[in-house]
Structure 1
Amino acid sequence: MDVVPFRTPGLGDTSYLLVHEGIGVLVDPQRDIDRFLGAAAERDVTLRFVADTHLHNDYVSGAWQAARRTGAELVMPAGAAPAYPHIPAFHMEDIRGEAGLVLRPVHTPGHTPEHTSYLVLIDGEPVAVFSGGSLLVGAAGRTDLLGEERAGSLARLQHRSLHRLADLPRDVLVLPTHGGGSFCTVSEPGPATSTIGAEADGNPLLAVRAPEEFARRLLAHPQPIPAFYRRMGPVNVRGGPPMPSLDVPVLAASRLPAHVQVVDMRPRRAMAAGFLPGSVGIELDDDFGSWAGWLLSYRTPLVLVAERGQDVAEAVTQLARVGLDAVAGVVTDLTGMETVSFRVAGLDAAARVARRPGVQVLDVRMPSEYEEGVVPGSFRRFLPDLFVKGPPKGLDPTRPVLVACASGRRSAIAASRLRAWGHAPVVLSGAGVPELAERLVEAPAEVRGGSRP
């Protein structure tokens, strides 16, 4: 048996291709299925099964499309009841393949009600379990993604599910879908894969014996839920359409279609030097699609602004993974266009700015990050809330505002929005709020704006 992982860093997820004697099982694939099917073809593998462990909240699944294209049998949790043909996976009812390969569904509700893990048996011996969003490496999948009112009940079910999986043989390989960087996990896991024995010995959540205490710990520190999550479940019930074309037309900046949202994907310093008024700056990185899905409207087509040579196909792929398919084109030349700008500053320069009289500081991190350090007197508004609620009350557009997060990525996004509201932002880049707070420890609070959270 061989297991080929496919890591998607921006989503914090891993898909898997399991290969046994030329037979393949594809588990939890994202929508861009060519990378999975290409790997199978390179290995001369016949795809026998495609399986989803649950109705995914964080991406459009590619399982249905992969099964349709290859003729593989599509396996879905029995409780998912999607609107397309599939084999329903019932608890402990084996699904048999060739060459001694068996998938044994194990109902593991918690992350979602229908969640099902798949125990892999070769010639009757359990060798691996695809645990999806149930048992993770040093952690567990979140149980609050379907709403606060169901979170406690699902957490108690998650407790039972984790212990159900922990009863498997110790040498069984644990292959979770969610991992570091995913908003579907309740804590920061370690390596991508593990074993039942290692989790039984070291996963702190498995040490909690009482379901109520487990639920309390799991839900003690609520994390934000990306806005696009509420769209993914219904899409995956219906079955997502095939990937859109990655070839988008090059447009002239002076002749953009009406009623589009412009997304500037250039590096922050290039964007800061001059970008189209009203555009949202989300520099291309692994989590480009996640931030776009969280912050942008699904009702409005997108136009990208890119540097020549930037990987536009990668941007379109990331957008498609979260269901943003309407990309009208890309602009690579802003010559002659009216632009606006903001300033980008390193830590030393930013500290000098913050010490000037009248300068305001805006912290756009999530509240759970405040314990790492804050700038006294700063305004605080988590980046997605800035897009929904607008700037904090009292943030004065006539005074400079230094925007900070942990590295400058979220601050640059915030700066593009603040600029549209008439503010003159300065972005702290290459450092974060804790480092800035240390530099300002001797500066009186009033020179940083004297503002409240």
Structure 2
Amino acid sequence: MDVIVIETPQLGDRSYLVHDGVVALVIDPQRDTDRVEAAALEAGVTITHVAETHLHNDYVTGGYDLAQAHGAEYLVNAADPVSFEREPVTDGQIVQIGAFRVTVVATPGHTHTHVSYIVSDGTTEAVFSGGSLLYGSVGRTDLVAAIDTVGLTHDQYASVRKLVHEAQHDAALFPTHGFGSFCSSGPATGAGSSTIGEQITTNHALTDADEEHFVATLIANLTAYPSYYAHMAPANMQGPGPADLEVPESLDAAELTRRLADGEWVVDLRNRVAFSSGHLQGAVSFEYGNGSNFTTYLGWVLPWDEKLTLVGTHADVEDAIRDLSRIGIDSPDAAIGTEPRALAPDAPVASYPRVGWAELARDHAAGDVLLDARRTDEFADGHLIGAVNVPLHEILSRMDEIPAGTIWVHCGSGYRAGVAASLLQRAGRDVVHVDASFADVESAGMPMAEKAV
């Protein structure tokens, strides 16, 4: 048995191709299935089965399309209310796939109908735990409905114990979430690999003997998650079709100018340094690449299901289209190029100052606004005296709450502040982008508020 890991770092998830040298099982594939097919081709195996651990909340699945394309059995929990044909599976069911055996284990918690898969070739075992048991923690339990969170957290506590009881201690563990995904909870480590035995001794969900303490602690530490999650499970219930990854023909200057003038969403993919120094007025900055969490923040911040125009290099636009397809944002338009005046000669060009902590300490004046665009939990953990906290994902809906005056906006690294600065300027506000790491704020001599006890 060989396990090929297919990383999606843009969303903090993994998919898996499990094969015996002849046939293969794919677990939790992302929507851009060409990556899975390339892995199968390189391994010289035929995809005969595709399996889902749950109806995903953080991405649109490629499972249905992949199974259809290969005539593969599509293993989905019998209890999932899907509208397509699948091979329904239930707790304890065994599926033989080539030289290995797959045991279905009901592991509710992340969702009500979550399942995990224990795969064995008679000698070794591998556990595919989806959003159940992660490296160091478990999948979050608040994505179904607020009224269900306590019950699902109790379910999660019981499920991981059931899973480790049914698996060998030396079985390799392969979760789908836990590598930066907001579907993770608690102290997920983001480690590269682990075993069931290691998790038994290190994972707080397994070492905490007090179930009530575990439930209360997990829920207390749940943080905000992207708003686009609300659209993922409904899409996955329908059996999503293939992603269109083609780069469209570049818009001409007149059409791009019109879209800007009409207030449409034009997304500049260049780095935030270039954007701040000169960009098409009305465009917003979502820097692509460099570990930017582009997909997550764009899907979280901008209004859902409104037409987008991507501006950037052909390579960045192509990659961004792929990334956005994973969360159901399909077929954005594009304007290929990096020089604002060349892209739309008749459109106005704007800029704003970009500074560090030293400039903020020196030049911030009485009456100016210090805006912290981090999440509320980050703000509560430590913030600058006098800062106003409006998380990036709430800025559009709370624009009227931000006080008048020049706005100096910061975050944890500078990325979110760059997005926020562009949104504020688009709304007609006078803005300064503080592009600096919050880890350096105290060494720069900025006054910090005392933490609430």
TM-score under structure 2 normalisation? 0.92
Is contact 1:23–1:46 with CA below 8 Å preserved after alignment? yes
Secondary structure (helix, strand or coil) at the match of 1:142 reads coil
Report the residue type matching 2:322 in the other structure: T
* Match of residue 309, structure 2, among 303, 306, 318: 303
Report the residue type matching 1:248 in the other structure: P
Are 1:159 and 2:164 an aligned pair?
A: no
Displacement of 1:126 in angstroms is 5.6
Gap regions ≥5 residues in structure 1 = 446-453
Is contact 1:176–1:192 with CA below 8 Å preserved after alignment? no
Instruction: Write the distance in 2 (CA, Å) between the matches of 1:372 and 1:48.
Output: 49
Secondary structure (helix, strand or coil) at the match of 2:363 reads helix
* Match of residue 351, structure 1, among 350, 361, 366: 361
Are 1:378 and 2:379 an aligned pair?
A: no
Displacement of 1:25 in angstroms is 1.1
2:144 aligns with 146
Secondary structure (helix, strand or coil) at the match of 2:340 reads coil
Is contact 2:20–2:98 with CA below 8 Å preserved after alignment? no
Report the residue type matching 2:383 in the other structure: V
Number of equivalent positions: 436
Instruction: Write the distance in 1 (CA, Å) between the matches of 2:352 and 2:147.
Output: 42
Question: After superposition, what is the alpha-carbon deviation per residue over 1:128-156, rounded to whole angstroms, capped at 9, x for unaligned?
Answer: 11000000000000000112111001111
Secondary structure (helix, strand or coil) at the match of 1:315 reads helix
**Alpha carbon RMSD of aligned pairs, Å?**
1.9
Is contact 2:372–2:379 with CA below 8 Å preserved after alignment? no
Instruction: Write the distance in 2 (CA, Å) between the matches of 1:170 and 1:365.
Output: 40
Displacement of 1:331 in angstroms is 4.1
* Match of residue 444, structure 2, among 439, 443, 453: 439
Distance 1:158 1:328, change over 3 A: same
Moved more, 159-168 or 334-343: 334-343
Is contact 2:317–2:334 with CA below 8 Å preserved after alignment? no
Instruction: Write the distance in 1 (CA, Å) between the matches of 2:79 and 2:58.
Output: 19
1:340 aligns with 350
Are 1:401 and 2:407 an aligned pair?
A: yes
Secondary structure (helix, strand or coil) at the match of 2:60 reads coil
Displacement of 1:342 in angstroms is 1.3
Report the residue type matching 1:385 in the other structure: E
Moved more, 320-329 or 408-417: 320-329
Instruction: Write the distance in 2 (CA, Å) between the matches of 1:254 and 1:438.
Output: 48
Gap regions ≥5 residues in structure 2 = none
Q: Within 5 A, what are the aligned runs for 1:202-221?
A: 202-221=202-221
2:113 aligns with 114
Report the residue type matching 1:136 in the other structure: L
Distance 1:131 1:347, change over 3 A: same
Question: After superposition, what is the alpha-carbon deviation per residue over 1:1-38, rounded to whole angstroms, capped at 9, x for unaligned?
Answer: 21111111121101111121322111111000001101
1:449 aligns with none
Question: After superposition, what is the alpha-carbon deviation per residue over 1:82-110, rounded to whole angstroms, capped at 9, x for unaligned?
Answer: 211211111011011122x1111000000
Secondary structure (helix, strand or coil) at the match of 1:387 reads coil
Is contact 2:390–2:398 with CA below 8 Å preserved after alignment? no
TM-score under structure 1 normalisation? 0.92
Question: After superposition, what is the alpha-carbon deviation per residue over 1:239-283, rounded to whole angstroms, capped at 9, x for unaligned?
Answer: 112111322211123323656421111110111122233322111
Is contact 2:284–2:426 with CA below 8 Å preserved after alignment? no
Displacement of 1:437 in angstroms is 4.4
Question: After superposition, what is the alpha-carbon deviation per residue over 1:276-311, rounded to whole angstroms, capped at 9, x for unaligned?
Answer: 3332211112421111111122332111111x4542
2:323 aligns with 318
